[in-house]
Chains A and B, each alone.
Chain A
Amino acid sequence: AQSVTQLGSHVSVSEGALVLLRCNYSSSVPPYLFWYVQYPNQGLQLLLKYTTGATLVKGINGFEAEFKKSETSFHLTKPSAHMSDAAEYFCAVSSLYSGAGSYQLTFGKGTKLSVIP
């Protein structure tokens, strides 16, 4: 079974400060890893993903994440927070169940990011 742990259900940063949202995963197979963002009353939008290859992946809105296999982590960062970054962020890991021929994403519980002016 796969799982995702997001450290911190709420994170507050000042505008212009570094954003760091933490995500650790467990997986028995090489994972696909994702970060999604959700603005109030909207669906989840893909920020970035890691499948194979380069471990530092860049996404939309200036976010990036680094896959560290030894640490089973996929932390999300942005050098300078903007007011528009205030949202909830979800980390997810993929799972391919060979028995059911099914593909699942396992989501973390989410981290709400507040940006203080």
Chain B
Amino acid sequence: DSGVTQTPKHLITATGQRVTLRCSPRSGDLSVYWYQQSLDQGLQFLIQYYNGEERAKGNILERFSAQQFPDLHSELNLSSLVLGDYAFYFCASWGGLAGGGEQYFGPGTRLTVT
């Protein structure tokens, strides 16, 4: 158990819909990362938040947005869903370089778009 929690575990929705994925980082970790993992694109970094502020953006579509709340949990919002958004979405938290530099991954949310 990494200490990172994600809900829901599975999400099935239809094209055109909007969904929200939730992540809680490890206790004490200020930084949250979102990744998308699909069969054709592999593991792709989407966005990073640190203590409520956006710090870095990767290959995140304009239809996707995220935020980190004062209690440090984060939400990833996916809108106008298309079939190609079918993927696993992982959240990871980071405890800083003093902690060793690794990111700790949650169990992921599997998104199915029908």
**Residues on A close to B: CB < 8 A?**
32, 34, 36, 41-46, 49, 51, 90, 94, 96-97, 100-105, 107, 109-110
The 7 closest A-B pairs by CB, nearest first: A43-B105, A102-B56, A102-B55, A44-B105, A32-B101, A43-B107, A46-B102
B15 touches A (CB below 8 Å) = no
B107 nearest in chain A by CB position: A43
The reply to whether B103 and A105 contact each other, CB–CB distance below 8 Å, is yes
A41 nearest in chain B by CB position: B110
In B13-56, which residues have CB < 8 Å from any A CB? 31, 42-43, 45, 48, 50, 55-56
Chain A residues with Cβ below 8 Å from B94 are 103
* Interface residues of B, count at CB 8 A: 24
The reply to whether B105 and A49 contact each other, CB–CB distance below 8 Å, is no
The reply to whether B2 and A45 contact each other, CB–CB distance below 8 Å, is yes
Cα A104 to Cα B46 in complex, Å, equals 11
In B68-114, which residues have CB < 8 Å from any A CB? 90, 92, 94, 97, 100-108, 110
A51 with B100: in contact, given A41-B110, A102-B50, A103-B31 (CB under 8 Å)? yes
Chain A residues with Cβ below 8 Å from B56 are 97, 100, 102, 104
Cα A102 to Cα B2 in complex, Å, equals 22
A96 nearest in chain B by CB position: B97
Chain B residues with Cβ below 8 Å from A96 are 97
State how many angstroms separate the Cβ of A116 from the closest Cβ of chain B.
23
Q: Which of B42, B55, B103, B110 contacts A110 (CB 8 A)?
A: B42
